[in-house]
Chains A and B, each alone.
Chain A
């Protein structure tokens, strides 16, 4: 321990006293910055950097990847994803095994592992954590239908579970039973669906479905969002907007790692030293620290400094400096010597969508104007230069694809025509001219974005492309919003004609992106385009009750084509994330889908 060594070397009693006082103030906490990672105070400490901090650790508000990273390490979910399998594969977690599913696929009977306990906490009698039972799962899911909790994940189960919506309508009384959500006994849960829901088990792997004890919610009240009491591999020590510290849960159930069952592929993952965790029970580290560093350069400096953050993604502006090749992605030797890396396509995409509720570009009382509006939308989409956008803002390593079924899901169609993502200035000009659009009668197009310099440049690039097709620059105006919350509100209220956003998949099924254009999901729901199409909606409803099959894939692809035909969106691009981590860390980091499940398996070399 370096701090003790300094003390013993000290010649000045006054200085020694001062240092001793400082050491006492530290309370024996590991210190970042003056000790080597992983060896602080004899503890195994892993420091994980992220770009933002969660605003709440209450599972009902786990609406982003930052909250999920922390939550699923403090709580248990019935299911999770295999650590190393790509594409993502579900596995039982708190569930003892796969559920029994009735022949009509409407009733799921799930058994919980016995002997799993919540962490010790003052909310329990004598402060001793009690066993996790099926009633806790019922309670945790009910909370999403209690307006008092300000839930954000109810959409996952809305209209899906028998009696749950009615329970909410009746006043969300927790003592009142829900017909479709029952604890048959302490270790058996039964869920009855209104109609088949193939993605149900995926929803039970989300941070939203984390299992919480009622005692903690009632004991802490509004403070529950900063005092997680779960049965996960780690327990919270401290939480602020700069750092979250979690310690290993010493009572976490013993479940030795079976690498084969986790989808381990020695050919592609062999270099990371993952064999060292085979047969051992996680978690392997004593302390897990999340460092939230919004500024990319500061995050990069923290990572490269050597004794601070042990994980980061490469900032776009560093890509040319760090990579020796983009296709395939390889690091320059000076970085490859020090860091492991893994490059993966994100489970999501970025896109821009027309809001059809704006009569200048979408639905209009005048059928002729509505027809011309479609031509205008198509022309703008044709002006979009995806390769340039990729090169400027995503390091040139993103994957541009047509439509809204991204490459990461199995339903992706590699043979789909790329016309909708190919720039065609002449075609765009022709469309405008043929449909009577001139510089003088083109409507003002407002480009909304949050106030930062990169978003501003995206706007300027878009405006320049539109100028190429004859859209006067003065008619393409920027509207800046102070926060993401502000612009999100504008989207929900359908205020902007052109919505620029990204979507991260909640589960690896194209249904999760196709719902973005489903009519009933219109604003304030997730359908920002406010498109209502009879064929598309019928196909969505048909596919939503189907299990994965070639027939379902064909329906998904038809929906994708239908969306492209209507010129609803300039879409899309899936970013490639390059994860870097120090070579003394044994892990395969990831932040896609739910994100954060891997942290349980992180180990450090001795």
Chain B
């Protein structure tokens, strides 16, 4: 036997190997990477810097100067579409990271202390927040924060953590009965060390998948909220572009609508495919 075949493969290396073999998953990742590159370019000021400029006439058709044409006031739709990618990533990343972090911590604590007051408090909080209609909650938070540009983020994070927490709680309840946790207890490891150093790392596959799902949900929610006037306050987003298009389509002008819809569809679809592939790759039942 060679050394390679005798070395025990970890869950992560098996998942990575499986993911690389998933052609659709890798295609999704490539598309997401391309979008991300576009977003980084916007953040670095390399392109789409003139998204707010009035660069042409009203509702100009696509041309060499304006690839996707211009909007009602003569702004370049292509630049606005590209700029919106950075908005989508900014919101997706912030919401996905923070809501996953919050869900992981609260879910792990609740799961570890299941049946005790801490668990009941977290479960009660999840139930209460779940019972409030999402858009009503966003409107309430936006009102409470008096138009603060972060109100949309706060609203999303305060609801999106719940699913992650439920999943993590369930997983932790399962894990805390295993031998390695009992061993940690036996040698006197403090409870919070057990939770965060020994149990939580074993839920990373859930967190990874859940964060990609949250990322996509955040992008879609942002578009809907911006369309409704509850989302992006300053800057540009696909939701705002679609909102602009509501009266433009009546005049027979579809460029804003098409540009925003197609780009959003591409990113959401690619991320969903990638997320699916990741879920398959990290599923312990399939990996082993």
Measured in the bound complex, the distance between the Cα atoms of B247 and A320 in whole Å is 13
Decide: A317 and B248 in contact? CB cutoff 8 A.
yes
Interface status of B53 (Cβ within 8 A of chain A): yes
Interface status of B243 (Cβ within 8 A of chain A): yes
* A464-B52 contact in complex given A453-B240, A479-B147, C-beta closer than 8 Å: yes
Q: Which residue of B has the minimal Cβ distance to A482?
A: B143
Decide: B58 and A391 in contact? CB cutoff 8 A.
yes
Residues of B with C-beta under 8 A to A300: 250
Decide: A465 and B54 in contact? CB cutoff 8 A.
yes
A 446-500 contacts with B by CB, 8 A: 451-454, 456-457, 460-461, 463-465, 467, 473, 477-480, 482
Residues of B with C-beta under 8 A to A321: 251-252
Interface status of B18 (Cβ within 8 A of chain A): no
Decide: A480 and B233 in contact? CB cutoff 8 A.
yes
Q: Which residue of B has the minimal Cβ distance to A480?
A: B147
B 126-158 contacts with A by CB, 8 A: 143, 147
A 289-304 contacts with B by CB, 8 A: 296-297, 300
* A318-B250 contact in complex given A388-B54, A451-B229, A479-B147, C-beta closer than 8 Å: yes
Residues of B with C-beta under 8 A to A460: 52, 73, 75
Decide: A453 and B244 in contact? CB cutoff 8 A.
yes
A485 to chain B, nearest CB (A): 14
Measured in the bound complex, the distance between the Cα atoms of B280 and A298 in whole Å is 47
A 501-535 contacts with B by CB, 8 A: none
B70 to chain A, nearest CB (A): 11
User: Which residue, of B75, B244, B248, B251, has the highest number of chain A Cβ atoms within 10 A?
Assistant: B251
A 318-337 contacts with B by CB, 8 A: 318, 320-321
Interface status of B40 (Cβ within 8 A of chain A): no
Measured in the bound complex, the distance between the Cα atoms of B248 and A368 in whole Å is 47
Decide: A457 and B73 in contact? CB cutoff 8 A.
yes
A296 to chain B, nearest CB (A): 7
Decide: A464 and B54 in contact? CB cutoff 8 A.
yes
Interface status of A443 (Cβ within 8 A of chain B): no
Q: Which residue of B has the minimal Cβ distance to A319?
A: B251
Measured in the bound complex, the distance between the Cα atoms of B247 and A392 in whole Å is 12
Residues of B with C-beta under 8 A to A296: 247, 250
Decide: B53 and A477 in contact? CB cutoff 8 A.
no
Interface status of A315 (Cβ within 8 A of chain B): yes
Residues of B with C-beta under 8 A to A480: 147, 229, 233
Size band of the A side of the interface? 20 to 34
A 269-307 contacts with B by CB, 8 A: 296-297, 300
A 350-389 contacts with B by CB, 8 A: 388
Q: Which residue of A has the minimal Cβ distance to B252?
A: A321
Measured in the bound complex, the distance between the Cα atoms of B54 and A465 in whole Å is 8
Q: Which residue of A has the minimal Cβ distance to B71?
A: A457
Which residue of B58, B233, B251 is within 8 Å of A392 (Cβ)?
A: B58
Interface status of B246 (Cβ within 8 A of chain A): yes
B80 to chain A, nearest CB (A): 10
Q: Which residue of A has the minimal Cβ distance to B73?
A: A461
Residues of B with C-beta under 8 A to A477: 234
B 29-79 contacts with A by CB, 8 A: 52-54, 58, 71-75
Decide: A457 and B244 in contact? CB cutoff 8 A.
yes
B64 to chain A, nearest CB (A): 22
Measured in the bound complex, the distance between the Cα atoms of B52 and A451 in whole Å is 18
Q: Which residue of B has the minimal Cβ distance to A481?
A: B147
Measured in the bound complex, the distance between the Cα atoms of B229 and A456 in whole Å is 10
Residues of A with C-beta under 8 A to B74: 388, 392
Residues of A with C-beta under 8 A to B250: 296-297, 300, 315, 317-318
Measured in the bound complex, the distance between the Cα atoms of B251 and A381 in whole Å is 31
Residues of A with C-beta under 8 A to B229: 451-453, 480
Residues of B with C-beta under 8 A to A297: 246-247, 250
Which residue of A318, A453, A454, A482 is within 8 Å of B251 (Cβ)?
A: A318
Decide: A467 and B53 in contact? CB cutoff 8 A.
yes
Decide: B251 and A317 in contact? CB cutoff 8 A.
yes
Which residue of B52, B147, B243 is within 8 Å of A453 (Cβ)?
A: B243
Measured in the bound complex, the distance between the Cα atoms of B251 and A393 in whole Å is 13
* A464-B53 contact in complex given A321-B252, A388-B73, A480-B233, C-beta closer than 8 Å: yes
B229 to chain A, nearest CB (A): 5
Residues of A with C-beta under 8 A to B143: 482
Contact with A along B210-245 (1 / 0, CB 8 A): 000000000000000000010001100000100110
Task: Identify 14 new A-B residue pairs, CB closer than 8 A, beyond the known A317-B250, A321-B251.
Answer: A297-B250, A315-B250, A318-B250, A318-B251, A392-B58, A454-B247, A457-B71, A461-B54, A464-B52, A464-B75, A465-B54, A478-B234, A480-B229, A482-B143
A sample of 25 inter-chain contacts (CB < 8 A) reads A296-B247, A296-B250, A297-B247, A315-B247, A315-B250, A317-B251, A320-B251, A388-B54, A388-B73, A392-B58, A392-B72, A392-B73, A393-B72, A452-B229, A453-B243, A457-B73, A461-B54, A464-B52, A464-B75, A473-B52, A477-B234, A478-B233, A480-B147, A480-B233, A482-B143
Interface set of B (CB-CB < 8 Å, partner A): 52-54, 58, 71-75, 143, 147, 229, 233-234, 240, 243-244, 246-248, 250-252
| Pairs A-B, 10 closest by C-beta atoms | A317-B251, A464-B54, A461-B73, A451-B229, A453-B243, A317-B247, A317-B250, A392-B73, A297-B250, A453-B244
